[in-house]
Every structure is written in C-alpha cells, then in structure tokens.
Amino acid sequence: MTDVTSEQGGMPFSLTREQIIRWAPVLVLAFLVLFFPIFEWLEDFLEGKDHIYLLDSRFFSIRNASRIAVAATPALMVAIGVTFIIIMGSIDLSMEGNVSVSAVIFAFAFIALGGTLASWAWLAIPLALIVGAVIGFINGLIHVRLQIPSFMASLAMGFVGTGFALLLTGGDRIRVEDELFRSLLTVRWLNFPVMCYVALAALIVAWFIQSRTTLGRNFYAVGGGEELAQASGLNVARVRVLGFTLAGIFFSLGALMAVGRIGIAETATGNNFMFISITAVVVGGTALWGGIGGVWNTMVGVLIVNVINNGMVVIGLPNWLQDAVLGILVIVAVVLSTNRKSISFVK
C-alpha cells in the first residue's frame, strides 16, 4: 500500500497493510460496542418511549458486561491454545473432544476425591490439565510422526475424545456442586466473577510464553518459514509437538472454566468450541498461514464474537443471523489478512 502524505504541516504518515491488520479488530470491537446500544436506543425511540438515554442501554449495564465476560472465559482459554497452533502455520480441530474428556475426567476425579476443594479433590484440577496435555501430545505426535496434515490428525483426535467422553459418562451428566469450586462463578470482585480474573492471569501467562520464551519465539519461526527454521537448526518436529501439548493444556483450562460456569460435566461440554475459537483467532487478526498474531489478538477476537452474540440477543435478533454475521466477519478477516500475491494456495 502506498504512503499517504498529510497536506497540513507536511508530516508524512504511512498506512500499511500490517497496520490495517493490527488495528482492524480493535476498531471492529469498538464499532460493535457502540452499534448495539445505538440500535437499542433507536428501537426505543421509534416506539415512543420517554426518558431515553444511550447510557441507560441494557447493553451498557455492568450486569451485561459481566455476562459477556463469563461467556467469553472458557472460549478464551480454548482460543489461546488454538492461537499457538495457528502461529506455527498448523490448525488444531481437536478442542471439542479434548474439552469433553478433560471435563468428564475432572468431574469423576473431583467427586471420587471428596467432592470439595477443601479435601483432596483439588488434585482433580492438575489431573485435568495433565489429561489435556497428554491428548495434545498424542495429537502432535500423530501429526509429526505419521506426517498427517494437522487439521486431519486433530479432527480425528477430536472425534476420539468425544467418543471416549461418551463412553465414560454413558450419556449422563456429572454434577460438580462444591461451593468452593463454584465460587469461580458465584464470588465476584468489582462485579465480575473470579473466573474472569483467573482467565486474565492465564492470558498473561500465555503472553509470557509467546513473547518471552524460546518456545514462543520458535512458534513464530516455524510459522514464518518451516524450511528456513529447519535449515537454521531448529527441531521443527519437537516444536510442533510441544505446541500441540501446550494447546491441550489450555483446552483443559477451558474445560475447567466451562464446568465452573455451569456446574456440569458431560460429553456435550466441548460442543461449539471449534467454531467459536477458530473464528475468534481469525477475526482477532492472527494469520492462518502462521507467523503473525498472538494471544492479545485472540482476546479481542473472543470479545468480538461474544459481543455479537450478546448484542444480537439484547436487540432480539435470531440465532441464525448471529452465525451469519460471524461467518461474514471470518471471510472479511481472511481476505484482509491474506496477501494473495505471495500465497498461491490455502492450507
């Protein structure tokens, strides 16, 4: 894109493709935050309601902001895991099976160990994280050792995970009713549940891994050019397996948040995470071919997805329209972020 020079004061500035990609998600989020209350205000105005104030919108209420944050928390954990994989230029579609298995094993172990965090049941939390990591490790190993495309290997692992969760539960629901564990949702600091702060802490850890560790830098190296990374002496296969393992840990974190949110673990716990997480990562600005983006982009993407879902409920639009809008956003995001002169095919 060519440079644009300001006529006033002679100060040149450039509007590059990278800058558009970087700021577009934030601008979309800001637009949505303003669009839904304005739409709601217009509806009230046309209905002739008195004392209409934009800031009195249901969308702008603290309660609604908390509702968006709670809905976004499990999806953010899963989407962070997906982000690491996409940065490497791969794709992981195993999240639904991983989340279901992690949630179910956590619930069974939690109950078997006493049913409350005040007892030995807290051990179910690291157990769930280990389960997620093992599934991710196997996923990465199948992809690397058998040289199966990542989307196919992970999709198969997702089906295996969902089937295994169904085998464990027999289709039943396992309730986790411990007040201490449910305090993730019920206890609030500054009007937001504890689980939102836990998710923020996990996001900061993910950012640290991404930007301050050798492993995180290796993710970008692999995504920026696998052949070049291999030629420079990087063990690409090892990096990929570690990436899938790390993603599995964040998938299991999403499972814990999902169980903490509804108090139930079942085979369906992982449902819809595939669409939501990948949509959030792409809409947030992480490039599908790898090497560009990060977890903060993903946070913005998750907020965009959840603001759309919440806002359309507030103004009374149907569910199918929500999915249509998200689909359009994905297409637009991919078109804006893809340089079709340098990329001749889609992975």
pTM score > 0.75 for this model? yes
Query: Residue ranges per domain, the chain?
Result: 73-271+287-293
Least confident segment among 55-59, 204-208, 236-240, 292-296: 55-59
> Which position has the higher pLDDT, 42 or 347?
42
Question: For 110, how many CA atoms within 13 A lie in the half-sphere containing its CB?
Answer: 29
Residue showing tokens 């983006």: 293
pLDDT in tens, 90-137: 999 999 999 999 999 999 999 999 999 999 999 999 999 999 999 999
Residue 5 banded pLDDT, cuts 50, 70, 90: very low
The answer to whether the beta carbons of residues 302 and 69 sit under 8 Å apart is: no
Residues with Cβ within 8 Å of 185's Cβ and at least 6 positions away in sequence, in order, are: 70, 193, 194, 195, 260, 261
Q: Averaged over 5-23, what is the pLDDT? A: 56
The answer to whether the beta carbons of residues 116 and 178 sit under 8 Å apart is: yes
Q: Which of 64-73, 98-107, 184-193, 309-318 has the highest mean pLDDT?
A: 98-107
Q: Averaged over 217-228, what is the pLDDT? A: 91
| Local structure of residue 317 (DSSP, 8 states) | -
Rounded to whole angstroms, the Cα distance separating 181 from 76 reads 20
The answer to whether the beta carbons of residues 241 and 121 sit under 8 Å apart is: no
Question: What pLDDT is attached to residue 11?
Answer: 44
Helices (H), the chain: 17-46, 62-87, 95-112, 124-145, 150-169, 179-186, 194-212, 214-224, 226-231, 236-262, 273-283, 295-314, 319-337
pLDDT in tens, 323-337: 787 788 778 777 766
pLDDT of residue 225 exceeding 90, the answer is no
pLDDT of residue 315 exceeding 50, the answer is yes
Rounded to whole angstroms, the Cα distance separating 299 from 201 reads 13
Residue 255 banded pLDDT, cuts 50, 70, 90: very high
